[in-house]
C-alpha cells in the first residue's frame, strides 16, 4: 500500500483508465502543456500524446459540447472545468442535452465532467462554490462528491466506465491535505452507494465532501463527552443511497444533515424529506440541517471561516439534539 493524496488518487485513477482503454481521453483548459490548474494531469501530455490530452479555448460550453460529440462516436472523454463555478457556461449542454439523450433516443453519453469545487482556499465567490445541488435535480445525470483518497480514485474509475454522463465534484481544499494508504491492486468504488465512515448509536451525521472531516472532528469531541456518533458519507449525492441513510437514522433516532453548499435548495433538504417521510416514527428529535448561509462565498479569510460549516457548529447543534 502507498500513501497517496486526494489529488494523486484522482490522477492515478485517471491514468489507469487511460492506460486500460485507448478510447479514454482528457479535454479542458490548460490540462496538457501546463498540466492542469491544480496539476492533476501533469505529465499526461508527454505520456499519452496530444490526441488524448487536449487543450481547449476558454469555453466551457465548447468543452462539454465536444465531449458529448466524442462520446457519440465511441470515445470516453473526461472534461475538466478549471473551477466548478464555471460549469454554468456549459449548463445547457449538460442538463438539456447530455442528461436527456438516453431517454429521448436511447443514446448513452459516456462523459465525465471533473469540477474542482468548494471553499476554504480563499477563492472568493467565483472560485469556491459547491454546485452539486443544481445537477442533483436532473434525471439522467450522476453526481459524485468523494471525500477520501480511496473513494476519489475508485469513483473516478467507475465514472469513466459508466455509459451515461457523470459529474465528478472534487474538493480543492482536500487535494493535498488528505492522504491515505491505497491498495496497490486495482479497485473501483460503486456509484450510488454511501459508506458508514464511523459507527455509532446515539446520533447520525449524514454528509459528503470536505464536511466529512468536520463531522469526524465533531464526533471525536462528542465521544469525549460519552456520545456515540455515526457518520454516513453519501459519496454519491444523485442517485441517493436512501437505504443506508434510513438504516442509520432508524438505529440512532437522531440526525444531522451537513453540507458545505448553501442551505436553501441544497442536498440536505432532500435527505431530510426522505427521513421524515420514511423514518419519522423512529425519530426522537427533529432532523437538523447544517449548511452555509444563503450568501455568496466571501473572499476575506475571517468572513469565509464564519461562512463555512465547522466542527464547532456541528458539535453545538449535536449537543442540543442529544439533549432534546
- DSSP letter for 107, please: -
Contact 297, 307 (CB under 8 A): yes
C-alpha distances out from residue 316 to 24, 119, 288, 303, 311, Å: 47, 22, 12, 20, 9
Residues whose CB is less than 8 angstroms from the CB of residue 46 and which lie 6 or more positions away in sequence, other chains included: none
Helix or strand or coil: residue 131? coil
C-alpha cell at 30: 490548460
Active-site pick, 47, 127, 137, 171: 127
Active site residue 137: no
| Backbone torsions φ then ψ of 79, nearest 5 degrees | -95, 135
Check if the beta carbon of residue 198 is closer than 8 Å to that of residue 251.
no
Which residue bears the cell 441517493? 240
> Which residues are tagged catalytic?
127
Amino acid at each position: 500500500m502507498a500513501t497517496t493524496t486526494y489529488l494523486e488518487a484522482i490522477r492515478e485513477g485517471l491514468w489507469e483508465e487511460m492506460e486500460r482503454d485507448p478510447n479514454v481521453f482528457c479535454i479542458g483548459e490548460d490540462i496538457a502543456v501546463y498540466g492542469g490548474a491544480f496539476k492533476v494531469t501533469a505529465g499526461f501530455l508527454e505520456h499519452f500524446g496530444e490526441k488524448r490530452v487536449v487543450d481547449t479555448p476558454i469555453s466551457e460550453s465548447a468543452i462539454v459540447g465536444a465531449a458529448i460529440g466524442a462520446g457519440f462516436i465511441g470515445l470516453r472523454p473526461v472534461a475538466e472545468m478549471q473551477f466548478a463555478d464555471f460549469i454554468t457556461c456549459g449548463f445547457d449542454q449538460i442538463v438539456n442535452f447530455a442528461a436527456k439523450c438516453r431517454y429521448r433516443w436511447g443514446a448513452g453519453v459516456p462523459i465525465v465532467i471533473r469540477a474542482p469545487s468548494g471553499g476554504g482556499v480563499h477563492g472568493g465567490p467565483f472560485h469556491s462554490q459547491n454546485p452539486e445541488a443544481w445537477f442533483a435535480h436532473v434525471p439522467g445525470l450522476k453526481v459524485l462528491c468523494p471525500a477520501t483518497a480511496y473513494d476519489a480514485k475508485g469513483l473516478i474509475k467507475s465514472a469513466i466506465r459508466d455509459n451515461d454522463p457523470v459529474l465528478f465534484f472534487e474538493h480543492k481544499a482536500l487535494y493535498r491535505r488528505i492522504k491515505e494508504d491505497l491498495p496497490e491492486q486495482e479497485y473501483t468504488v460503486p456509484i450510488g452507494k454511501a459508506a458508514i465512515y464511523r459507527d455509532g448509536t446515539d446520533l447520525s451525521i449524514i454528509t459528503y465532501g470536505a464536511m466529512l472531516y468536520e463531522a469526524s472532528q465533531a464526533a471525536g469531541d462528542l465521544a469525549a463527552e460519552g456520545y456515540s456518533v455515526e457518520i454516513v458519507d453519501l459519496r454519491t449525492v444523485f442517485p441517493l443511497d436512501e437505504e443506508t441513510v434510513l438504516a442509520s437514522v432508524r438505529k440512532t433516532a437522531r440526525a444531522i444533515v451537513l453540507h458545505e453548499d448553501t442551505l436553501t435548495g441544497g442536498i440536505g433538504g432532500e435527505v431530510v424529506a426522505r427521513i421524515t417521510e420514511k423514518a419519522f416514527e423512529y425519530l426522537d428529535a427533529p432532523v437538523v440541517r447544517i449548511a452555509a448561509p444563503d450568501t455568496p462565498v466571501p473572499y476575506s479569510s475571517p468572513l469565509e471561516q464564519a461562512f463555512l460549516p465547522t466542527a464547532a457548529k456541528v458539535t453545538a447543534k449535536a449537543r442540543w439534539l442529544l439533549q432534546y
